[in-house]
Structure 1
């Protein structure tokens, strides 16, 4: 069979070789399909007949290098839990190349779990089945929730075992991103004094993500500002749906503004701002309520990396960087506060924001589910406050509902419009942790039915889908997931 009608581009591999290590994936024994994302393939303009055929599987499993392709492992550094690591890099991932979609956007195609690279640091370069399934489902759900994210094109079983605490079935994930450049990529060159490479990397990021800045005056200042603005929006969106990344290291923050690296990530069940799931986050550095603060810290690191290219005068460069960083907090606050008020169907005012925060306090006080607690409001009519009040227990709830109804009386829009805003701000379905664990356990026994069903459900997370009501329930006590794991 011929190679794809549109071969993979090689724009990242065209950069100087200090940006990556050229290395081919390691072949696997018996690749078999777990899943292939037809909708994403269509979005990318890929020939599904080719990619779902024998040669497509060979390429996406790492058993064949496509003609004209130069697989590379990206170099980067990073702060991991605040500790500086001067060299990290893709230790089990290979960028195969890129595709330009019909919408004109270029996307990188990367294999994860595809074998060791020069950055593996004695690791085996492989991925176990569980983390591959988790990232596939989580990343696609996040996309359908409206959150910028890397996406999953394919998952393939390798027919091999990988050794972690025990032997586990192996798999390879094909993931798609507008690029895989991270804060840690800039750190890698800054730490080495490679200022020319910093400018080359910044130009690559502008070309790929911010093309309107190509000819802008002070383009690197504007690039830093644009990255910060996207991160403010992204983290606000995480907070609004109760998503906890779990490992917000600088090497896990993409400058595209996409969510990247779904390791020990999880969604909150009952609301508590100090919620932590990651087994390696012993001190809660990346707890739910800390995510905005950590994002700003990471962006401060990025701003330091930009200093050599912001201005030839050192003091002027520092001031430009500081001004850019100072914009993060108000940008995040605006996005989060607006979104939180929309979750209760109201416009952003000081009083409405206080009302929304009071609702969070009630969810915490009564140990209630974050997602279901907000979704419940969608079906309530503030004009029928006496009927609504009977659905809640306690004077504090009835007091809040009374204030909520009064606030709705002050809105100019119709009730129907406000309820639609709430519906589109409060998902009915999220990838609940106990469902992820059940899916993985069943897949380990060879049953992919729940994997396929959840992927179907999460295509429309804001719709009611009554036939799938069982997937909206919080976990029973014995199902509650206390800890999640990276899988590396």
Structure 2
């Protein structure tokens, strides 16, 4: 009912959350889950009249950063402490009876948030509405609105058409994660000394970077860490943006790379940037101790063949609005096994058609 809303959800957004939360779980990314969708005969007014719906969501906790802010800004510190105690009992039971439990709870929230956003970045996921009330206090992905998996890699991609200034763009997500944690630190300041909160906040960036580097090494099939890896990864994303490469099929194709470049080059608008980067990649692979076959096996388990892009979801929504839920059920199978081959669904693993590339969406439910 926020922002003078009517408290209702539409089938469109319910299908998106139902499928996407299961897809994130299939990728191994912490998330709320969806148990069921219930459709309604009642029409709901949005940009047009749409079918109403209810999505039944499940999560270990629905406490958000904003839950603490609510009590802090109302100067209700007793309730703030009760909320922190409840969260510790329910979600961090190992901290019950520990010394400085609130500080240790905050430290764990910092770590989980940093690692979650690193996972988002590694698969090209753009949440779209990262306000503090959409940030989970246990570090899971919640509140799927105008989210998107990127198609052609675009560092400044904005998936929410109301995000005029790009506050929640893809490349802004790590910084917004820290900003939100700073707001949470302020809300917890009646319970935790400021200097200790600041010390934990300083651990966010190293934690994020460490996790992202770990994930990118896995995506590229690299064995031991090398000092030059950061430059290799930065040049990779610059190359993908310059050559307008669709992120998901690129990493999947790279998972079978054996020195032959034609399959990869076919994904690039211009071959020159990709060839130059592959020269660097070949040199880096020469430092691996594992075999090419072993690398392929690891990478195919790391780089999904399928992510639920917005044009795919829209096709399922259009059919469902006409009482055909076949594709919704098919996409649910893909969502739960994104690393499988699913030969009958090959077209959903292809690069996105240019006319449907990196769409922007409404956050209206």
**Shorter-chain TM-score: which interval?**
over 0.9
- The corresponding residue for 1:153 is 35
Which protein, 1 or 2, shows the higher relative CO under an 8 Å CA cutoff with sep ≥ 6? 2
SS in 2 for 1:171: strand
The alpha-carbon deviation at position 426 of structure 1 amounts to 1.3
The alpha-carbon deviation at position 375 of structure 1 amounts to 1.2
The alpha-carbon deviation at position 417 of structure 1 amounts to 3.0
The reply on whether 1:354 has 2:231 as its aligned counterpart is: yes
- The corresponding residue for 1:326 is 202
- The corresponding residue for 2:242 is 365
State how far apart, in whole Å, the 2-side matches of 1:165 and 1:254 are. Answer: 29
State how far apart, in whole Å, the 2-side matches of 1:352 and 1:416 are. Answer: 22
State how far apart, in whole Å, the 2-side matches of 1:477 and 1:366 are. Answer: 14
CA contact (8 A) 1:341 1:353 kept: no
Q: Please report the RMSD computed on the Cα atoms of aligned residues, expressed in angstroms.
A: 1.6
The one of 451, 455, 474 equivalent to 2:328 is: 451
SS in 2 for 1:458: helix
State how far apart, in whole Å, the 1-side matches of 2:83 and 2:34 are. Answer: 25
CA contact (8 A) 1:277 1:483 kept: yes
- The corresponding residue for 2:124 is 242
SS in 1 for 2:191: helix
The one of 338, 343, 350 equivalent to 2:214 is: 338
Pair 1:175–1:166, CA change in 2 (3 A): same
- The corresponding residue for 2:112 is 230
Task: Note the alpha carbon deviations across 1:263-313, whole angstroms, 9 max, x for none.
Answer: 100110000100011021011000000000000000000011111111xxx
The alpha-carbon deviation at position 364 of structure 1 amounts to 0.7
State how far apart, in whole Å, the 2-side matches of 1:131 and 1:187 are. Answer: 27
CA contact (8 A) 1:389 1:398 kept: no
Deviates more, 1:369-378 or 1:475-484: 475-484
Pair 1:468–1:349, CA change in 2 (3 A): same
Pair 1:478–1:127, CA change in 2 (3 A): same
Whichever structure has more strand as a proportion of its residues is 1
Gaps of 5+ in 2: none
The one of 160, 163, 169 equivalent to 1:281 is: 163
State how far apart, in whole Å, the 1-side matches of 2:112 and 2:180 are. Answer: 13
- The corresponding residue for 1:470 is 347
CA contact (8 A) 1:389 1:397 kept: no
SS in 1 for 2:336: coil
The one of 189, 207, 211 equivalent to 1:307 is: 189
SS in 2 for 1:246: coil
State how far apart, in whole Å, the 2-side matches of 1:322 and 1:289 are. Answer: 24
- The corresponding residue for 1:213 is 95
- The corresponding residue for 2:261 is 388
The alpha-carbon deviation at position 448 of structure 1 amounts to 1.0
SS in 1 for 2:355: helix
TM-score (norm. length: structure 1): 0.71
- The corresponding residue for 1:200 is 82
CA contact (8 A) 1:136 1:173 kept: yes
The alpha-carbon deviation at position 367 of structure 1 amounts to 0.5
State how far apart, in whole Å, the 1-side matches of 2:285 and 2:3 are. Answer: 57
SS in 2 for 1:438: helix
**Pairs aligned (count):** 360
Task: Note the alpha carbon deviations across 1:115-137, whole angstroms, 9 max, x for none.
Answer: xxxxx564321111100000000
Task: Note the alpha carbon deviations across 1:119-171, whole angstroms, 9 max, x for none.
Answer: x5643211111000000001000110111000100100122111112221100
The alpha-carbon deviation at position 359 of structure 1 amounts to 1.7
- The corresponding residue for 1:37 is none
Runs of 4+ in 1 over 4 A off after TM superposition: none
State how far apart, in whole Å, the 2-side matches of 1:352 and 1:366 are. Answer: 21
State how far apart, in whole Å, the 1-side matches of 2:5 and 2:78 are. Answer: 31
The alpha-carbon deviation at position 478 of structure 1 amounts to 3.1
CA contact (8 A) 2:219 2:303 kept: yes
Task: Note the alpha carbon deviations across 1:207-246, whole angstroms, 9 max, x for none.
Answer: 1211111121011010000000000110000000000000
The reply on whether 1:426 has 2:299 as its aligned counterpart is: no
